[in-house]
């Protein structure tokens, strides 16, 4: 096998894998793939940072060795950050690599696990990282959909939503836009329905998410 390429150590199609394992230790790679598969987590293994970074797959979690030939784990992590990748990074470290792991945490890593690691600790950390990544992905989808719904509103509806979120009453908005208060209400109700806002508080939260108004500072 050409060890510069991705290893086909998973049992299923690699395009369905959520987890990448990047480590130059073949025995460790194989044991980790087996361990994760035993608890229903699909993983693909890579022998070094270059082969991993060459993969076009959108990983959810990356198990990344700190010390490897070629690119170090910290360098791979930095390249992921430069690409704005959404994957959560869990560093795998030897006993003397704790300072490097601490630096990885400062750079945004989700966690680090010391070798030899406890299997249950590793699985727990992976589950938490997957949950966080899935939650962030869902939040990004919802924000994208909200932006699309807002963009589909009429210009006057967009303006009214912004003014409502700024705290203006229907009468104040009507005077500002030179339309009737009844027309303001019609536009507001139609816009709220299109955005999926069930009440005024939800509409204001959506306006904050859209960047139409600033969030109030916490008390």
| 8 A C-beta contact, residue 62 and residue 126 | no
Whether the pLDDT of residue 12 is over 80: the answer is no
Q: What's the predicted TM-score (pTM) here? A: 0.65
Same fold yes or no, 14-140 and 153-209: no
Residue 47 has pLDDT above 90, yes or no: yes
Q: Where are the domains of the chain?
A: 14-140, 153-209
Of 38, 2, 33, give the one whose Cα is nearest residue 20: 33
What's residue 8's pLDDT? 44
CB 29 within 8 A of CB 47: yes
Tell me the pLDDT tens digit for each residue of 200-213. 889 988 998 898 88
Which of 145, 144, 147 is closest to 207 using CA atoms?
147
Mean pLDDT of 102-115: 87
For residue 218, the cross-strand partners are none
Please give the CATH architecture assigned to the domain spanning 153-209: Orthogonal Bundle (1.10)
Of the CATH numbers 3.40.50.720, 1.20.120.530, 2.60.120.1440, 3.40.50.2300, which one belongs to the domain with range 14-140? 3.40.50.2300
Cβ partners under 8 Å of residue 48, min gap 6: 4, 22, 24, 68, 69, 70, 71
Q: What is the pLDDT of residues 124-159, one digit of tens each?
A: 999 999 998 888 878 878 888 989 999 999 999 999
> Which of 21-30, 120-129, 207-216 is least confident?
207-216
């Amino acid at each position: 096998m050409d060890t510069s390429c991705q290893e086909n150590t998973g049992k299923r199609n690699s395009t369905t894998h959520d987890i990448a394992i990047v480590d130059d230790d073949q025995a460790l790679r194989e044991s980790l793939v087996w361990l994760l598969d035993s608890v229903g987590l699909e993983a693909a293994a890579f022998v070094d940072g270059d082969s991993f970074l060459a993969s076009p797959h959108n990983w959810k979690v990356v198990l990344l060795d700190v010390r490897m030939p070629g690119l170090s784990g910290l360098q791979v992590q930095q390249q992921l950050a430069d690409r704005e990748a959404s994957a959560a990074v869990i560093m795998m470290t030897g006993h003397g690599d704790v300072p490097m792991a601490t630096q990885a945490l400062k750079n945004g890593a989700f966690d680090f696990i010391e070798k030899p690691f406890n299997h249950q600790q590793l699985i727990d950390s992976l589950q938490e990282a997957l949950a966080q990544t899935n939650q962030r992905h869902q939040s990004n989808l919802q924000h994208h959909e909200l932006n699309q719904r807002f963009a589909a509103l009429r210009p006057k509806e967009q303006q009214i939503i912004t003014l409502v979120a700024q705290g203006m009453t229907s009468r104040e908005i009507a005077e500002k836009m030179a339309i009737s208060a009844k027309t303001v209400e019609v536009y507001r109700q139609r816009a709220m329905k299109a955005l999926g806002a069930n009440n005024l508080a939800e509409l204001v939260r959506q306006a904050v998410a859209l960047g139409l108004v600033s969030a109030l500072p916490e008390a």
